[in-house]
Amino acid sequence: MIRRLLPLLVVAALVGAWLFHRSGPPRLTVYCAHDSIYAEAILRDFTRQTGIPVAARYDTEATKSLGLTELLIREKNAPRCDVFWNNELLGTLDLQEKGILTPYRGAGWERIPANFKDADGYWVGFAARLRVQIFNTRKTALPADQAPEPPRNLSRFAIAKPLYGTTLTHYAVLWQRWGREKTISWHRDWRARGVRELNGNAAVKDAVADGACDAGFTDTDDFFEAKDDGKPVGMRPVRLDDGATICIPNTVAIIRGTRRETDAQRLVDFLLSAETELALARSKSRQIPLGPVSADQVPAEVRELQAWAQHASPLTDLLPARNECLAWLKGEEMK
């Protein structure tokens, strides 16, 4: 029997080796909500340095973080993803609460300050953005470093739809600080005054940069894109009642059930390294390093953002406010 099976086993082994050669080693699967134009270069560097191939899945501008979060929830019992690189925090907190993440406290976790990471290592923040008011300098007589107050008539003021992304974080911060009634009243008042709700922060940036709106709320990476294009724009950080800013980190987490845990841990440490944070700080998105880096290696524009980020409102306990606010927003949209 063994003699009869031996040729078949040899053929099977040869076919397996041929298929492995054709397809290459199995890839580390990354779901990534960060802009692919920046993330792809980082992931290529990881593969070049480690030899670990990566297959990345991205999503759309308007719904990317929420879309990938919901996909991970659907795949909970049969995960296809190894590492989730989110471009915000709240969706990652939701995954943690649902038992979809697995903890890891490595070298990267160690270098990130406590207010930007989970104490048990379920997620870690890095390379942040700030919520800002962007304004068209041709539409206001104010200097470029002084944001105008939103007018009574908001028909020329833009904001992204708050059901997802960093605008949802913005709303959740207000919900936590103001409470349900005041936040709902504020939202409905701004709608009554004609605020323009657009499909994502990039759309807000374009509307202000092109003069269709005078000002709006967006993030620092979108502002710098408009500035680099030579658009007449200025920006100042969104300030809360006590002067705090809204600083929103990228987050990275390992998916529970991964079969490539060691490789996943290596990618997490790579993303949380000073090398990666500096690369993202020097990119056109001007991400803000959260861990220690040499000041002389940080672009001057990003150093200014670092100063604003030092006054950031805490986000790590924001999940209850996010869930309540999102449930209400979904009901509001159905009216």
Residue 173: inside a domain, yes or no? yes
Looking at the domain assignment, is residue 44 inside a domain? yes
DSSP 84: E
Name the β-bridge partners of 20.
none
**3 is a domain residue:** no
Quote the domain boundaries for residue 213.
Answer: 129-246+321-333
Residue 160 phi/psi, 5-degree rounding, is -70, 155
H/E segment holding residue 19 = helix 2-23
DSSP structural state of residue 113: -
Give yes or no: residues 204 and 296 share one domain.
no
Per-residue pLDDT of the chain (335 residues; tens, 9 = 90+): 445 544 443 344 444 333 333 344 589 999 999 989 899 999 999 999 999 999 999 976 544 556 899 999 999 999 999 999 999 999 999 999 999 999 999 999 999 999 999 999 999 999 999 999 999 999 876 665 566 678 889 999 999 999 988 999 999 999 999 999 999 999 999 999 999 999 999 999 999 999 999 999 999 999 999 999 999 999 999 999 999 999 999 999 999 999 999 999 999 999 999 999 999 999 999 999 999 999 999 999 999 999 999 999 999 899 999 999 999 999 987 56
Indicate whether 216 and 269 sit together in one domain: no
Q: What kind and span of H or E run contains 128?
A: strand 124-136
pLDDT for 200 equals: 92
Q: Specify if 195 maps to a domain.
A: yes
Same domain, 76 and 191: no
**Residue 273: CATH number of its domain:** 3.40.190.10
Do residue 237 and residue 133 come from a single domain? yes
